[in-house]
Structure 1
Amino acid sequence: MQVLIIPVTPFQQNCSLIVCSATKEAAVVDPGGDIDKILAQIEHTGAHVTQILLTHGHLDHAAAAPELAAALNGVPIIGPHIGDKFWLDGLDDQAQRFGFGHAKAFTPTHWLSDGDTVQVGDHILNVIHCPGHTPGHVVFHSKEAQLAWVGDVLFQNSIGRTDFPQGNHADLTRSIKEKLLPLGDGIQFVPGHGPTSTFGQERLHNPHLL
């Protein structure tokens, strides 16, 4: 598996391009904006993107998904959990509030639920519903590659904000401690912003989890 992290938007959000090395099939995770940068990386790898995956409905993670899907011949947009429908319905309002340009509301091709799986070439990603930052936030976990894409649930030495509508701090810490950390200390994760880390590193040193 090849993973390219592409920082996008004024918020420097970590969009990811996941490429199956054997089949060259790929998925784009959280295309919040700057689709020219994303398309350039896709072309550079020679990958064939078959889907767009969303961890949650905040605009810096989801706003460019419809435009990118159209540019990629109408590939499906998968996720997040339906609990984030109100965020996707309000993308235009989010864009105006944050001075983010224009974004259009959309409905993904398919909502995800806890326990679902998504296939990228030969690789299976397990879907874990991790509410707290948003009610419909999901995490994608590759057991084989020992990798997880955690969106804004967990960061190096920090955790996601819970002061947005329907955020919940207790739910967030429960999601991290009961759903993510038990996956194993060796799991490396790609957060929505900032550097990668491992669950073991955060379990031992993240001040919000001690």
Structure 2
Amino acid sequence: REDPTEEDEAEGKEIGEGQGLLTVDQPWPGMLRTLFRDEEQYKDKYFSTFGPEIYEVGDAARRDDDGYFWIVGRTDDVINVSGHRLSTAEIEGAIVSYQGVAEAACVPREDEDKGQAVVAFVTLEGDEDSEGGDEFEKNLREHVAEKIGKLARPDQVVWSPALPKTRSGKIMRRLLKNVAAGKDDYGDTSTLADPSVMDDLQERYKQGNGGG
């Protein structure tokens, strides 16, 4: 489900193919039923966004054209830009909604002026080696600004043929954070489906590919 609009705060809008917030409208055995001695916090955390009958899991997810759901990341994973806490899932959702973008992952990078800056690793549709030009990148940043706000505009865009994923399809943001931090040793890659992705990403980042 997408974020609710002002006209439809209770339910939000169910989406077909695309990215949004993962919700559940039917209970299941392992579902958290309360918080010890804090029923109100439980309701506020899991049922305040879409109403008392829709459980907000706390994950952002992408639904593909076959109807399968892919977990993108936690919605409470944030980047602190000039004192503003920005959801990485929300920024990624805005980037992916731009025509021509297939996938994106955002991580923080230390910044002297803003505290943290947004680094976006972006995969485009079509040719796996395709890269966006200056005009495409400019328009993509403006698209994010229109969707969320100017503070959410990526400070650097790194065009990536593929993102580092585990065999189950989970994006390893820990590795991307190490790349954005300029670390030569970006960590253990044994769980990746294709470890060679990291060498390519690190080289692209060092070259300032798409940087601004």
Q: TM-score, normalised by structure 1?
A: 0.29
Give 1 or 2 for the bigger CA radius of gyration. Answer: 2
Q: TM-score, normalised by structure 2?
A: 0.28
Higher relative contact order (CA 8 A, sep 6+): 1
